[in-house]
Amino acid sequence: MEIYFESDYVKILYEQSAQYVKLLWLTPPTNEEFKEGCGHMLTAIGHFGVRKTLVDARLQGAVHSDLIEWMGETWVKRAAVLGQRHCAVISPTDVFASFSLSEIAPIGVRAQVITEYFDNEEHAVDWFNKLTTA
């Protein structure tokens, strides 16, 4: 896996074999860090020309309602324009963080991005591989 961007709170990686960009939260981000991390992910989607993304949200924490609105009004639309069509999310175990992620899911549907939730990366990558061979 190639590191595209790295900070103390997030890593953005590219997996060439399965053709996806991965966002890995290392610690719960501030609102500004959340937007910055998502912005770097958009840049990576465009740079690598991928249609699949993986978000490892296990350490993300709850997403503030303002950020959910921003995701719907700005981020998801930009990702779809760049070509994103499938998003695998590794769900956090924290109830509040999981609930905030469930608020984002309908936004992806409106942007025609198919989102699936998994408890580990192996299952998410298996899903990506099935998409590639289908």
Q: What's the pLDDT at 75?
A: 87
* C-alpha–C-alpha distance, residues 95 and 49, integer Å: 33
Please write the tens of the pLDDT for every residue from 58-117. 888 877 888 888 887 888 889 989 999 999 999 877 655 554 555 555 454 455 788 888
Complete DSSP assignment for 30-68: PHHHHHHHHHHHHHHHHHHT-SEEEEE-TTT-PPPHHHH
Contact partners, residue 31, CB within 8 Å, separation at least 6: 64, 66, 67
Q: What's the pLDDT at 67?
A: 86
Do 115 and 89 meet the contact criterion of CB atoms below 8 Å apart?
Answer: yes
Q: What's the pLDDT at 99?
A: 47
Q: What's the pLDDT at 70?
A: 86
Domain with residue 74: its CATH number is 3.30.750.24
Residue 74 or residue 23, greater confidence: 23
Q: What's the pLDDT at 10?
A: 98
Q: What's the pLDDT at 109?
A: 46
Residue 56, both tokens? 């490892």
Work out the mean pLDDT of the chain and round it to a whole number: 86
CB atoms within 10 A of CB 49: 10
Q: What's the pLDDT at 69?
A: 82
Do 17 and 29 meet the contact criterion of CB atoms below 8 Å apart?
Answer: no
Domain that holds residue 116: 2-133
- Which contiguous run of DSSP H or E holds residue 4? strand 2-6
Residue 95 or residue 47, greater confidence: 47
Q: What's the pLDDT at 102?
A: 55
Say how many domains are in the chain: 1
